[in-house]
Amino acid sequence: MNAVDTATVIDMADLPMQHPRAPASAAQARARFFNSGNAFNVKLPEVPARLFAPPPEGRHGVFDCDQSRALDCGFPATTPLMLARYVRIAARDALLPLDVRATGSVWYVISGSGRLTGAVDGFAFGAGDVFLLPGASGYRIEAGAEGALLWTVGNEPQLAFERAQPAPVAGAAIDVVHYPAAEIERQFELMFSCVTRDETSGRALIFSSDRQAAARNLTPTLTLSFNTLEPGTHQRTHRHNSAAVTLVVQGEGCHSVVGDAVCPWTPWATLVTPPGAPHSHHNAGSRGARFLIVQDGGLHYHARTMGFEFLEAAG
Ligand SMILES: [Fe+2]
């Protein structure tokens, strides 16, 4: 039996990354080894809780809500797996080609109107509409006489992380889906005609589609919820492992609390709620509030890692 020379024993955690001693091929030479003492100390930067404002009037183009520098990743990202963007198109101008390098991206028409054509059957859209586009190249968005301001969120960073490409439209997990504003209002009216067991948590309209209905998702990864909050109420503090990207649609006198930060709502702002962060939404104004929330919730539901919990008792 060999005696251990205690003078030469080092802590396992201090071992440097190991290379193979005598690789016989390029493939063998690429191997690297860590151990249970040194492999789990990678510290990624936190996801910042942040508010983004829409581009000012007169500025046209695509504006990423980009936190890639803070997240230390090499591609535009608002959260590790989602990218939110504003798109402003001048009157009778067109955004083309528009490539959706995601499984899908959801769009909300903040103002104006227009027409979408390209990789899917075209349709006209107006303010307040929501639509879902499968990943594809060569979309074209034409704005109407008053121009158009849109907000969009997709899982581009999720695909970029793995250098994956969207499936061809014919084989995609989702189809194009259009939710016109009038139909959304009809759904809100129906929802508000019902009673609820917990008024203080507000009411939310969840968007899905024929092919995603079983999972209640928008795409396999993304969920879309149009939340409401009555005047003088708040959505009590909770947490979940999905990250959230929220668009303020209507909310005078409202704010969110994310961790220790108080985030006052401003018109059409985008709020980032980091994964796992305790948060609550508050309406101190005199009108009902509405906010559109995209989460990577489908991914967490599937992975059984949603980890939702209220951190405040029902009032
Ligand atoms: Fe939440």
What are 157's two structure tokens?
Answer: 């960073």
CA of 274 to the centre of ligand 1 (A): 10
**Distance between CA atoms of residues 36 and 28, nearest Å:** 22
Average pLDDT, the chain: 94
CA of 313 to the centre of ligand 1 (A): 15
Q: Amino acid identity of 6?
A: T
In the predicted structure, residue 2 carries a pLDDT above the cut 60: no
Q: Find the angle CA(245)-CA(273)-CA(222) to the nearest 5 degrees.
A: 40
In the predicted structure, residue 30 carries a pLDDT above the cut 60: yes
CA of 240 to the centre of ligand 1 (A): 7
Among 30-34, 93-97, 167-171, name the one with the lowest average pLDDT: 93-97
Phi/psi of residue 11, nearest 5 degrees: -65, 135
State the DSSP code for 162. Answer: T
Nearest-CA neighbor of 311 among 280, 273, 271, 270?
Answer: 280
Domain 51-310: top CATH class? mainly beta
Q: Can you give the pLDDT at residue 1?
A: 43
CA of 75 to the centre of ligand 1 (A): 25
CA of 242 to the centre of ligand 1 (A): 8
Share of the chain above pLDDT 90, in %: 89
- Domain ranges across the chain: 51-310
**Distance between CA atoms of residues 111 and 22, nearest Å:** 64
Mean pLDDT, residues 201-221 taken together: 93
